[in-house]
Amino acid sequence: MGINLGNFLSSQSKNKRMKEFQDLDHIDGVSISTICANLYKDPRDDVVMFYFRDGANYASVYTQSKIISENIKWNLSNKVKKVFSLLINTRNANCFTGKQGFKSLEKIAELISEQLTKKQKEDEEKPKKIKSKEIIFGCTGTIGETFPEEKIKIKIPDLISKIKYTQNKYIWMKAALGMMTTDTQPKMAMEECLIGNSRIKIFGVAKGSGMIQPNMATTLGYIFTDADITNIILKKLLKKNISTTFNAISCDSDTSTNDMVSIFSTGKAKHSKINNINDVKIREFDNALNKVLLNLAKRVVTDGEGASKFITIKVQNCKNENDAKKIAFSIANSPLIKTAIAGEDPNWGRVIMAIGKANVPINIENLSIKFGEIIIIQNGKLSINYNEEVASEYMKNNNIDITVNISKGSKSFTAYTMDFTKKYIEINADYRS
């Protein structure tokens, strides 16, 4: 599958609420390179490297699937404090590849460490010897195919020689494009904030379009910052903000074997190191990180396979957040609801069905449902003001909001999803061809 650069340059977005691509520029300590390793039939960049010349503190969350890819196994096995490179390949998930897949990563990591150590000697006043365990991997694509070790290895020297020490929007775009599989658009986001008197950058890239209902992660999502934050605090911040962002989305209710979200901190910003989660100086950073993660997560849903509608499901006033989440995802993952929305049919009976099957105690007399601002169910009954024609007109919008009020407590949860169209079937029927 080739990548259409016009998707990036288009002024029109599937989801009119989404911002246009932001002007990601340079982050101190981060370098980027992309290359074509001929993993696809049609030539395109399919391998991406992020290089941290002085190393980066990092934290990751991974898929909770009981079958995980070999790159996830590799990453989990490496207990290093800093990493020097993240290598991402598309087209091949390196899952269900067994010893061959894992050993391939070992060999590639050894080659990368050798080549980057050589580059350190060429470029740095105080060169570092980079170890293979200081390399981590992201893999995405088809499950069960032999990992293309030789195709990737032969390109590593060229990939490293192309490393750009200064980034701009175009280079970040190339990285985001190089991660894509069935995606139609690259996914990029940025925020700036203050830690003390220092202005901090937070940049993010992600890929994801199908096999998406994350459980502690997404398909692939990577966050980069010049803040100086310890690994422990990065982990706490990431886990805290994942729950309402990447763990609040579903395209098709399927959790990938390869899901991972990572954050990398280069420590180049001039402020005192953050090593306490309660440090008041980190509040603005915490908020900005959430915005980046949510922006990327929404972009994944907006670009869901065959999607024509972006759907926000708000479940309010539950006894606890878990109940709200159960109901929200019961609605989000219903093929009947997704197809009704694709057909622009305000079939609110299917929402009733989804609420009921969530296995959460419901007092029907207190139940209310809205599509947008249209009140459909009020106090457990069809609203006397409900007008099917008005509701049908609302369903023609690109953005559909469903609000469910349980009136049983004070906890809420918001989920984000997409509709199911004929295009979804076509994409997944032809995925391996």
* 78, 86, 149, 151, 273 from 37: Cα distances, Å: 26, 16, 10, 6, 39
Q: How far is CA 113 from CA 84, 131, 262, in A?
A: 9, 5, 20
Domain match, 368 and 237 both: no
Which helix (H) or strand (E) segment is 289 a member of?
A: helix 283-302
- Which of 90, 181, 182, 218 is catalytic? The answer is 218
Tens digit of pLDDT at every position of the chain (433 positions): 333 334 433 334 434 333 467 889 999 999 999 999 999 999 999 999 999 999 999 999 998 888 899 999 999 999 899 999 999 999 999 999 999 999 999 999 999 999 999 999 999 999 999 999 999 999 998 999 999 999 999 999 999 999 989 999 999 999 999 999 878 889 999 999 999 999 999 999 999 765 556 664 556 899 999 999 999 999 999 999 998 998 888 876 666 778 899 999 999 999 999 999 999 999 999 999 999 999 999 998 888 777 899 999 999 999 999 999 999 999 999 999 999 999 999 999 999 999 999 999 999 999 999 999 999 999 999 999 999 999 999 999 999 999 999 999 999 999 999 998 888 778 677 756 5
What number of H helices and E strands is found in the chain? 13, 14
Of 265, 276, 174, which Cα lies nearest the Cα of 222? 265
* Residue 112 in tokens: 């990368």
Residue 141 φ/ψ region, left for φ over 0, alpha for ψ in the -120 to 50 degree band, beta for the rest: left
In terms of domains, do 259 and 332 share one? no
Looking at the structure, tell me whether residues 273 and 372 fall in a common domain: no
Are 168 and 49 within one domain? yes
- 142 carries an active-site annotation: no
Cβ-based neighbour number of residue 287 at 10 Å: 12
Count of domains forming the chain: 2
Per-residue burial over 192-202, b = 16 or more CB atoms within 10 Å of its CB, e = otherwise: ebebeebebbb
What ranges make up the beta strands (E) of 179-219? 187-195, 198-207
Which of 280, 302, 324 is the C-terminal boundary of a domain? 302
Here the CATH number for the domain that contains residue 327 is 3.10.20.340
DSSP state string for 344-395:
T---HHHHHHHHHHT-----GGG-EEEETTEEEEETTEE-TT--HHHHHHHT
Q: Are 219 and 258 in contact (CB under 8 A)?
A: yes
pLDDT at 64: 80
Q: Which of 274, 302, 330 is the last residue of a domain?
A: 302
Smallest CA-to-CA distance from 217 within 263, 261, 264 is with 261
* pTM for the model: 0.89
Say whether both 298 and 330 belong to one domain.
Answer: no
Say how many Å lie between the first and final Cα of the chain, rounded. Answer: 10
Residues 63 and 178 in one domain: yes
Is residue 4 situated within a structural domain? no
Q: Which of 281, 302, 323 is the last residue of a domain?
A: 302
Would 7 be classed as within a structural domain?
Answer: no
**DSSP H helical segments within 156-205, as ranges?**
156-161, 169-178
In this structure, the answer to whether residues 237 and 277 fall within a common structural domain is yes
Domain holding 343, by residue range, is: 310-429
- Cβ 143 vs Cβ 95: under 8 Å: yes
Nearest to 221 by CA among 267, 277, 175: 175
**Domain annotation covers residue 320:** yes
Length of the chain measured in residues: 433
Specify if 8 maps to a domain: no
Does residue 5 form part of some domain?
no
Check whether residue 275 and residue 424 sit in a common domain. no
Burial category of 123 from C-beta neighbours within 10 Å (exposed 0-12, middle 13-18, buried 19 and up): exposed
